[in-house]
Structure 1
Amino acid sequence: MAFSFTKLQMPDPADALKGREDELIVENRHAVKNVPIKAPFPEGSEKILFGLGCFWGAERKFWQQPGVYTTAVGYSAGYTPNPTYEEVCSGLTGHNEVVLVVFDPNATSLEKLLKVFWESHNPTQGMRQGNDRGTQYRSGIYYFNDAQRELAEQTKTAYQSALNEKNIGEITTEILPASAFYYAETYHQQYLHKNPGGYCGLGGTGVCYADGA
């Protein structure tokens, strides 16, 4: 499939699609865990957003992790309010396909989740992940507090050192404050549970992140 050059670079905010005021109607129930995918979440839980390619396979990686309360897929780090999947795929919203991960910090650690993040995709590929090309497939960590930012930066530095040993290139992962998260359409939520034979384009580098968690 041919991809236009515009889909491989962020649009100018002035040129982004206008979107809409109303939120998409999304079923508030995790198909695997049978818990809500929208706030309020249990007291003491933490959340973070990860972008690592097609969000179908990415979400499954995280709902399988011990200590994760719930997950959801959606769109973030862009410009268009309440975008649709088709609009995000146009490259004209600036959004990334991301996974919202809500976890119990007493049952797991952010470093363990970051280990999953780094090892589950190739973070050196810019605006693509494997054969999936476009701004919505870029690698990103979107944090909610300074402690998350610092740990994300620390693990990025550590993983870069591991990649350097294998001559794999420079990490292109963006690490930014979390902005508005727009839930994707219901059929995208827990997609690979609902469609066990569905597409999953995730592929790591084969390089392990040596965590201390």
Structure 2
Amino acid sequence: MLFGRSKSELITEENALPGRAQPLPVAARHTVLDTPLTGPWPEGYETAVFGMGCFWGAERIFWRIPGVYSTSVGYAGGYTPNATYEEVCSGLTGHAEVAMVVYDPAKVSYETLLKAFWENHDPTTLNRQGNDRGTQYRSVIYTTSDAQAATAKASLEAFQPVVTNAGLGAITTQIQPLGEYYYAEDYHQQYLSPSKNPNGYCNHGPNGLSCPIGIGNVPAQTSVEVPGAAH
């Protein structure tokens, strides 16, 4: 039975849940930034997508970075269109929980976003962050351009020696082109915002390592800390 399978193994396309044609409804505006949640985006702005465990804390990391225009949480990397949270948690969609970041490259570099990504989760634990286990919690960077892909790969190569010197294992983070991005249910959007659940569950925070990339708006040897986040 599919529901008896290990959630540490990615489902195949032929065995994935069918999903639905209609997107899950979300609010029009970002709860914290008061910007559009689903676009359209200003000309010249770019998008980046990161999976680093539970998407609640991941999204908060990025909306606090100056130059970020909008953020949202959703599902990507799998097969089931417009999946629900329960379906994703079943392991039967192939999706990862992700945060989408819309940013102004004139104000914040992609390297700075990568620095925040690497320094605020454990990229060496396969399909797990802390006590959150399953393929939906995998560490992954979904790229939206060839330039992002090259930069993301360079950042991984730069960070691996730092991780190794800290006594940790190989980075398990996947770097893949973004396919479809599906918005998660509205109650997940900006879940940890002051107007929703400011003291809600979050297992993100600085991991004590410094990624030597991203010297634009964040000093290269300074961790991108998340004020008020649970550690």
State the TM bucket, normalised to the shorter chain. over 0.9
CA distance in 1, matches of 2:190, 2:31: 6
When structure 1 is superposed on structure 2, of 98-107 and 198-207 the one drifting more is 198-207
- Spell out the pairing of 1:1-213 with structure 2 (5 A cutoff): 6-193=6-193, 194-211=196-213, 212-213=215-216
Note the C-alpha offset of 1:131: 0.6
CA distance in 2, matches of 1:158, 1:18: 39
Tell me the amino acid that sits aligned with residue 30 of structure 2: H
Any idea what SS the aligned residue of 1:7 has?
A: coil
Any idea what SS the aligned residue of 1:48 has?
A: strand
CA contact (8 A) 1:122 1:203 kept: no
The TM-score, its normalising length taken from structure 1, stands at 0.96
Any idea what SS the aligned residue of 2:187 has?
A: helix
Tell me the amino acid that sits aligned with residue 137 of structure 1: Y
Once the two structures are superposed, residues 17-41 of structure 1 have per-residue CA deviations (whole angstroms, 9 ceiling, x without a partner) of 0101111111121000111111210
What percentage of aligned pairs have identical amino acids? 55
Any idea what SS the aligned residue of 1:140 has?
A: strand
Once the two structures are superposed, residues 183-212 of structure 1 have per-residue CA deviations (whole angstroms, 9 ceiling, x without a partner) of 001100000011011000225532111223
Tell me the amino acid that sits aligned with residue 53 of structure 1: G
CA distance in 2, matches of 1:124, 1:96: 16
Tell me the amino acid that sits aligned with residue 113 of structure 2: L
Higher relative contact order (CA 8 A, sep 6+): 1
Any idea what SS the aligned residue of 2:50 has?
A: strand
CA distance in 1, matches of 2:4, 2:111: 37
CA distance in 2, matches of 1:152, 1:5: 32
Note the C-alpha offset of 1:148: 0.2
When structure 1 is superposed on structure 2, of 160-169 and 100-109 the one drifting more is 160-169
CA contact (8 A) 1:74 1:181 kept: yes
- What RMSD over aligned residues (CA atoms) do the two structures have, in Å? 1.3
Paired residues, what number?
A: 211
Any idea what SS the aligned residue of 2:102 has?
A: strand
Any idea what SS the aligned residue of 2:72 has?
A: strand
CA distance in 2, matches of 1:97, 1:28: 21
Any idea what SS the aligned residue of 1:6 has?
A: coil
CA contact (8 A) 1:128 1:134 kept: yes
The TM-score, its normalising length taken from structure 2, stands at 0.89
CA contact (8 A) 1:132 1:201 kept: no
Q: Which runs of 5+ in 1 are unaligned?
A: none
Note closer, same or farther for the CA distance 1:138–1:176 as it changes in structure 2 (3 Å cut): same
Give every structure 1 segment of 4 or more consecutive aligned residues whose post-TM-superposition deviation is greater than 6 Å. none
